[in-house]
Structure formats: C-alpha cells, structure tokens
Structure 1
Amino acid sequence: MFPGRSTVAQARLSVRKIREVLRLKSEARLSDRQIAAVLGSARSTVQECLRRARAAGLSWPLPELDEDELHERLYPRTPSALRYPTPDFEAIQRELATKGVTRMLLWQEYKAQHPQGCQYSAFCRDYDAWLGRQDAVMRFEHVPGDKAFVDYAGKTMAVVDRHSGEIQVAQVFVAALGASHYTYVEATLTQTVADWLAAHVRSLEYFGGVPRAIVPDNLKSGVRRPCRYEPDLNPSYQDFAEHYGVAILPARVRKPRDKAIVEVGVQGVERWIMAPLRQRTFFSLGDLNAALREQLERSWKWVSRGWSAGSWRRCGSAPSLASAI
C-alpha cells in the first residue's frame, strides 16, 4: 500500500534542475523554500542538492561539464548502502480519512512491507511535520524589489484597420510589483511567446530594474506544463530568466493567493484604464498603447493626490487598489 521511496532517490534531480537550483541560489538569492516552489520539488530535495554541490566543490557558474559528468559529481556511484524507505504520507492522509483506520494500523502495514523502516514514534512525528507543511498558509509580506506579478487581462481592446475596417483584438498585458502594486500596462496583438517576452522586457524598462522573481499565471507562453508540483517553463521563458538573472515562480494551480496582486492590478486596469477608453477608436497598436500609458499615468497622479483607502472603497474598488492604480 505504501511504495517505498528511499531518501537517496528523493534527493535526485535532473541535470537541468541541478543547474537551475545552483543558479537560483547564487544569482537570484532565493531561499531553499522558494527554489523548491520554482522547481516543484521538495525543499529537502533542494537542500540535498546544494549539500552535494558544496561537497563536490561545485558552485555557479558551473565549470564545463557535460550532463553525465555533472550528475556523477553530485551523485557518485557508491556500494549499495542500507536505505530506509520514507512512508507515503499522501497515501497515509487518504487512508486516515477512512473510518476505523488508525495511525497504528498504517504503521504496522508499513513495517510489514519495510521491516527496516522507522519506528512508530518517528512515523507519527514525521507525518505530523509533513501535515504541518501541507496545512501551512504563508503570510505574503511583499518586500520592495522582490517580486513582479504578470498576467493578461480578461478583457481585450480593438485595433481597427483604417483602410479595410478589419478589427484586430488586442490582448492587454499587466505587470504589478508586489510591495507597491506599481503597475505596467501594454497591449499586444497576441499572447504568443514573442509578445509575452517582449512585454516582459518593456515592463522591466518601465519599472527601471529587475525584481528577484517574476510570478506568472500558468499561461502557455510561459509555462508548458502547469502542474502544481512540477511546473515546466517554456524554454524561451527559461532563457529570458537566465539572461536577466531573475527567478520565475509560476503561480501554483488552485492557489489564488499566489496571484492576488496581479488580479487586483488587472481589475484596476480594466476599471480605471481600459473602461475610460471604451468609446475611442484606435487605428494602430502604437496609438492604443500611447492611450493606455497616458491613462495609466493619469491614474497614478490621481492616487498621489492623497485619496484614502476609504475613498477608494466608496468608489467600489478594493482597498489595495489605492496603492496600485
């Protein structure tokens, strides 16, 4: 019922992820927990990778090693040693929801399959620690310069061909800084990787710097496989991250708190920037972006006049929007 998972097997990462662990630790200066979130791996796995890198004398940037050499340096082949399988705590949690199933019963079944496994006290202690990590809800205290949150607005805008009258639907890219909610807006004709990355570059130019991390929603342009545990970044997005020395932390699936900042920013953009432009006709993407930028700057000037959170509430906006737009 509980397949054995050795601690050694748990600590092994692909060569691509090994490189990313070392880069994020050295360049982005992320914590072990943040790196684990980026890679969709356990924090203990990240810690083990870093420990092995130190023991092997490896640091970022890595020396010229091919994949086999790097893997052998971190995970050298040694004579078989005694391995103690880790209980499958996810399976244990599911089983405990069944009436009459106790921890003692599950431990006895675990020991029957793995006689060299841990004792009951350690079984309970480790399960409680695992459960605490699953139930913990992080308090998001955004540090200036730490994160930027990016997404496309749900609403679109139109660009009309002056000669043919053909209408092109423009997507609206939104980037918001975590601490200040300072927001950047740009219209693009598509949500392709090229437009997605170009909008990122221009948002960084607008902000005047690069945050430690960028948090995208699981848009296909940025995340190829939006898995809660192991998101797989688009290769071009990965190249962008390495070029700018920034970490990409995809919002976790079904974790709305991860992207609350940008959702507030999107809501504000739709209300205070896009809505006032709804009656205007734009004949080029450049004209549309000029109008968006003008409306964005006007909104920030309005905020700087000293509107209180209560005033923004009376206007039907969320309190945090007072610092956003």
Structure 2
Amino acid sequence: MRKIRDVLRYRSTTDLSLEAIARALKISKGVVAKYLRLSEAASMGWPLPEDYDDLALERLLYRQAKARSSSFIEPDYARVHQELKKKGVTLALLREEYRQATRERGDQYTAFCTRYRAWAGKLKRSMRQIHRAGENLFADYAGPTVPIIDGQTGEIRPSSVFVAVLGAPNYTEIGHKRI
C-alpha cells in the first residue's frame, strides 16, 4: 500500500507524467493508472487523512471498486440466442436493448459479443446423419427476395432464392424460383 500513497503524493505534488511516476517507484505505468483510477472513484485526494493506515486505504479503494463492479447485470444469453434466430435481429440491436433495460449498467458492445460467443461456444450442437449419394435432396430458402428486372418491359419482380443440396458431399445445385 506504500506505493499507492507514493503514487497519490507524486501525482498531487509534482508535474510528473504517469510514466515518470512509474519509473520513480519501479512499478508499471498501468499500475500507476489503476491506483489513480481507484482513488478517483473513491473521491480520494491528497493529502490523505492522518488516520488512514495502509489497511484502511486498501479497504477504501477496493471497496469502492467492488461496489461499482457489483452493479453489473449479466444478460440472459439464452434469450439473446433465441432472438438472434429472428429475421433482422443483430447482436448490436440486442446489446442496445440490453443496455436500455439495465440502465447503462451492462457490457460495452465488444464485451457483450465476446461473452455471448463464449456462452454459445459451450452449446452442444451435433446432428450426424448418413445420406447416400443422390438419395435425398435438401432445399432451403436463402433469405429475402431479390429484384429481377425484365429486360424488355423494365418491370421489376421480386424473386426468392432457394438453395438445394444433395445428401452427399460435393453435390450442390443453386437455383432461382420466381414468385
């Protein structure tokens, strides 16, 4: 804890940069920044009250950090996973809804995506099926319609795209069906 006192003293009484304070105290620049961030969160200035021993200082700094982090609200990843199956739903949209629901106490976008992907990575997904070549054909709708323009009349008609796959590897066929 002696280093925290020294960091606060150097920062308040000198014009040294974080890097210079780190060199003077033989600690990393990140540790200096962390101590300053903790002291700012605890609204602690210099000089410290005389009744603050190292233990009291540590409790004050880390209690504030713990209280701040305990307000974090974990998203319901199962619901996020189900919502992503709906048309037009993205992780950015779900994260924004989550942020509004938690009143700004949730993850940032990158952390939200990272945590969701870690959660989704633990899901067991397997459906092993054996298909003989040419025996089965699997077709699926490939998304929203695409416009097809008639070259003679200029009429624009929507067209759905379907993908068909034979039930054996390396046999694929892509076709278009007009609606």
Q: TM-score, normalised by structure 2?
A: 0.35
Bigger relative contact order, structure 1 or 2 (CA pairs below 8 A, ≥6 apart)? 1
More helix by share: 1
